[in-house]
Structure formats: C-alpha cells, structure tokens
Amino acid sequence: MNVTFRQLRLLEAVARNSSFTRASEELHLTQPAVSTQIKQLEQEVGLPLFEQMGKKIYLTEAGKEVYAFSRTIAQQFRDVESVLDDMKGVKRGTLSLTVTSTGKYFAPYLLAEFIKHHPGTQVHLEVTNREELVAQLQENIPDMVIMGTPPDNIELTAQAFMENPLVIIARPDHPLAQMSRIPLGQLAEENFILRERGSGTRNAVERFFSQRGIKLNTSMEMSRNEAIKHAVMAGLGLGIVSLHTLEFELALNRIAILSVEGFPIMKEWYLVHRSGKRMSPIAQAFHDFVLNEANRVITLPQPKPRPAGRSARRVTRS
C-alpha cells in the first residue's frame, strides 16, 4: 500500500473539520486538490473512508481506523519539528489553540496582543463546546486549550490565569433589575434560560444552587451564550452567563446584571494541556504570555452604575 504522509495529513484535516472546504482553507489548498488526494488514498486503501449524509460528511469504519493512525503520525512529526525548532532557537511557528464557546469573547484579544510580539505566528483557533474540547484533549490534538474547570479523568497540566465571574442577567425593565440584595430564595419564582447540561457554566450553576438547597425553574436550555442573551432581552426569563460575554449588551443598556446574594459565582479560566506534552517554542511562548499578561490585556465589562434601588426583601408580588 503506497500511502503518503500528505494524504494522511489531508484526511486528518478533513475528518477534524468534518468538511472538505474548511480543510482546504486550513491547509491553503483548493477543494478539488483535497478531494483528489482523498480519492487516491481511498483507492490505495481499497475502501471508502468518508460517507456523505445530507450536507455533512462522516468517517466510515475504515476511515476511523486510518484517522487514528494519521493523528499519531502527525503528532510524531510535530514532535520532531518541535525538537528541531528548539535546537535552532526558532521563535515563530504554528499555534493550535482550542477554546470553549465562552472563551471566544476574549481569546482573540490575547492572540492579537501575542502576535504583535511574534508576527511570524500562524494560529489555528477552534471554538467548541466543553464535550468536544475534552475529546480533543483526550486525543492530544491542540497545543493547549482555554476552558473552565478541567476534567479530572485525564492526565492534564492546568493553570488558572484569570477570573470568570458568572452573573444573573435580566431585561433592564425587569422588576428585579431595580432591586438590591435579592435573596436567593426569591429566584425560585423566576424562569431561567440556562446553558445545556454538561457545559461548564451549567455545572457551576447547578452546583451553586444545589449546595444551598434551591431548585431553579429552567424553562429553556440553549447551547450558545448569544441565544441566552437574546432570550433574556426578549423577556423570556433570567439568564446566567459569564461577565466576559456582556460587553456590548451592557454598553447599549440592553441587559442588566441583577444584585443577588452570593453572586457573582467566581470561577476561573484555565490554560490546559496534556501532561508531559512537548511544547514547540511558539506554544511555550504563548503559554507564558497568557499566564503573565492575560489580566493586563483583558478587562471585564463594567455595568452602568445601578440607581439606588429598593431591597428585594421589601417587595411583595401581587
């Protein structure tokens, strides 16, 4: 079987992106060139490696086996490049970073500041949910990830670098938006729009209220912070999101942060990679930059000053 490393690299990119188009863009090739190479690889293997259902493509059983080998081989080549770069003192290269969907609100600013000092850096940034991010960590795909609480079932090196406050949000004209020191128990009367089960935010929220014996009425679950914010602005209920996600809504007075006892829930952002992973010089430089400079580069959105409000304890509902 005459299979080339180039073909395996293309298969890895197509499978990871679930798209011939995105893989071709990532590798700076035309889509026909990628498709041709994959067809030639399938001819060498003697089995189809991808199948299409609707607009999506999926690996076949044979494709999954070849994909597993391609990832291993690609990682070995990256390790060789890293060793050679260390020997040459190279200070440029490719950085592979995966962040959770909430991390997308600040990760580009970190990258922009980093690239100012390392202009030769090429970045592959992927934004995904916690489940997919953990799967990538298990496969040792990215150089590192930015996430909330790291999983404890994988051998990881995780370092906190920035606070991640979770706040309760409402429409500015919501009755509770004018209150201060709202008791947690009063929130049981409200409808909440929360992130999907399994997300880092949802886990933190459920843990916080469970420890205090309070059950929230979850009227909706959504997989994107943007969807939650729009649902809150539409008056469908209250939401709980990271303060990092609210810069524009607060500036435009489209959303209010409620003054609730025990809030914000203080979480932290972590920079995470597999334990024992060999870092390229540029990945190590980014790692050090985030740990030392993130709090200088990233500033939290500031809510507008709250007018002197009534205490929620004095409010009765009709």
Q: What is the CATH number of the domain that holds 13?
A: 1.10.10.10
pTM higher than 0.85: no
- CATH of residue 234's domain is 3.40.190.290
Domain ends where: 89, 119, 134? Answer: 89
Domain ends where: 45, 65, 89? Answer: 89
Q: Is residue 116 part of a domain?
A: no
Residue 304 pLDDT: 65
Residue 85 pLDDT: 64
53 plus 190 within the same structural domain? no
64 plus 168 within the same structural domain? no
What is the C-alpha to C-alpha distance for residues 40 and 297, in angstroms, rounded to an integer? 47
Residue 18 pLDDT: 87
Radius of gyration from C-alpha coordinates of the chain: 23
CB 134 within 8 A of CB 154: yes
Give every CB contact of residue 83 below 8 A, 6+ residues apart in sequence: 278
How many other C-beta atoms lie within 10 A of the C-beta of residue 190? 17
Tens of pLDDT along the chain (318 residues) come to 788 888 888 888 898 888 898 888 888 889 899 999 999 999 988 999 999 887 788 899 998 989 888 887 777 777 776 666 655 655 567 899 999 989 999 999 999 999 998 887 889 999 998 889 999 998 888 999 999 989 988 999 999 999 999 999 999 999 999 898 999 999 988 999 999 988 889 999 999 999 999 989 999 999 899 999 999 999 999 999 999 999 999 999 999 999 999 999 999 999 999 998 888 888 999 999 999 999 999 988 877 665 555 554 444 333
83 plus 167 within the same structural domain? no
207 plus 307 within the same structural domain? yes
Q: Is residue 67 part of a domain?
A: yes
310 plus 169 within the same structural domain? yes
Residue 307 pLDDT: 54
Torsion-angle region of 180 (φ positive above 0: left; ψ -120 to 50: alpha; else: beta): beta
- Helices (H), ranges, the chain: 5-17, 20-26, 31-45, 61-88, 107-117, 130-138, 200-211, 225-233, 247-251, 281-297
Q: Is residue 109 part of a domain?
A: no
Domain ends where: 69, 89, 109? Answer: 89
Q: Is residue 231 part of a domain?
A: yes
- For the chain, how many structural domains are there in total? 2
Residue 267 pLDDT: 93
Q: Is residue 195 part of a domain?
A: yes
What is the C-alpha to C-alpha distance for residues 254 and 249, in angstroms, rounded to an integer? 5
Range of the domain at 197: 162-267+301-314
* The residue to which tokens 């920035």 are assigned: 162
Q: Is residue 180 part of a domain?
A: yes
CB 169 within 8 A of CB 232: yes
Residue 83 pLDDT: 66
185 plus 305 within the same structural domain? yes
